[in-house]
Structure 1
């Protein structure tokens, strides 16, 4: 029976003891052994690649899951920022005389703003609140305008229009500021 007969089982085939001196005397056996070794090496390579692909897919899905958990609500958070801004502007626009007259309403709006900030913090959103006189940081601030203001240096914040916000380690929205363009003397 030929060695290439597909009906032949492993038990029926003559096994080669590669350690014996006469094992590879037959050139056909040597060729068959080389083919088997090449096939084994090819299958081992495919197996190792499949194992690496599976591990990479597991790591990628874990990273995607973490990112979705941390940053999945960023669109909703971005949409809520103008609500916070409007509430802050409403409180800031009330005169001292109006504060006494509308004290309860102002307190309600301020409490709502604090609660909104608490919810933001609970979900990893932190405000960026620059102060007048600080240096402009392009990583966290957006310059809405530049103006020469005596008594300041170029690049100093001269007005804060809106707070910025970070979502964990990502910028959700830069703080909107005015910057001094005073030339150095």
Structure 2
């Protein structure tokens, strides 16, 4: 038996059937296009959702960081305003000689107790004293050079005098220590 040819098949299909098949094919094509459009819309919404989710997470992280910084460093203005009180009390204690200590021992003891309480409050809130010593190396990250002078027996860059102590609030510098620095040539 001979194999049917494509032309034979087309001859068997009536014109009405051909139109119906063409309509079915067009309908399938329209449905496929509509399905593609729905998939594209779904992907667009999914992308927008993922971006909104990421932005929300980033906003949460930013607000958490801001909260931590406010907690740690929010009192830095007050702390800076308290530093001269510390300086004045320290000067008062340093200026009191043996004669004044004997004559006004209760007053000196009161100043010492107040100074101790102030340093305890500083420590409680993360404020540390930067107390360089004569002979230490000058560190521009922690010290402020108030003057330079050639001092025999010292090397250039050594601290030769401490005018005022510095302070750190956690990892931030509140005030650098004020020092005099040797300018002797190395």
TM over 0.5: yes
- Map residues 19-34 of structure 1 onto 2, 5 A cutoff: 26-34=28-36
CA deviations on 1:96-151 (whole Å, 9 max, x unpaired) are 32222222211111111110000000111111111000000111111111111110
Query: Aligned partners of 2:98 and 2:138: how far apart in 1?
Result: 31
Query: Aligned partners of 1:25 and 1:150: how far apart in 2?
Result: 101
Choose which of 66, 69, 72 in structure 2 pairs with 1:67: 69
Query: Aligned partners of 1:124 and 1:77: how far apart in 2?
Result: 10
What TM-score results when the alignment is normalised by the length of structure 2?
0.83
Query: Aligned partners of 1:23 and 1:79: how far apart in 2?
Result: 83
Give the CA deviation at 1:48: 0.2
Give the CA deviation at 1:68: 0.8
Residue in structure 1 matched with residue 99 of structure 2 by the alignment: 97
Q: Which ranges in structure 2 are unaligned for 5 or more consecutive residues?
A: 1-23
What TM-score results when the alignment is normalised by the length of structure 1?
0.84
Count of aligned pairs between the two proteins: 163
Larger radius of gyration: 2
CA shift in 2, pair 1:142/1:33, >3 Å: same
In angstroms, what is the RMSD of aligned CA positions?
A: 1.6
- Map residues 42-57 of structure 1 onto 2, 5 A cutoff: 42-57=44-59
Query: Aligned partners of 1:108 and 1:166: how far apart in 2?
Result: 26
Q: Which ranges in structure 1 are unaligned for 5 or more consecutive residues?
A: 1-21
Choose which of 139, 148, 170 in structure 2 pairs with 1:137: 139
CA shift in 2, pair 1:24/1:113, >3 Å: farther
CA deviations on 1:143-175 (whole Å, 9 max, x unpaired) are 111111110000000111111111111111111
Query: Aligned partners of 1:123 and 1:133: how far apart in 2?
Result: 30
Query: Aligned partners of 2:25 and 2:113: how far apart in 1?
Result: 89
CA shift in 2, pair 1:23/1:175, >3 Å: farther
Query: Aligned partners of 1:128 and 1:23: how far apart in 2?
Result: 85
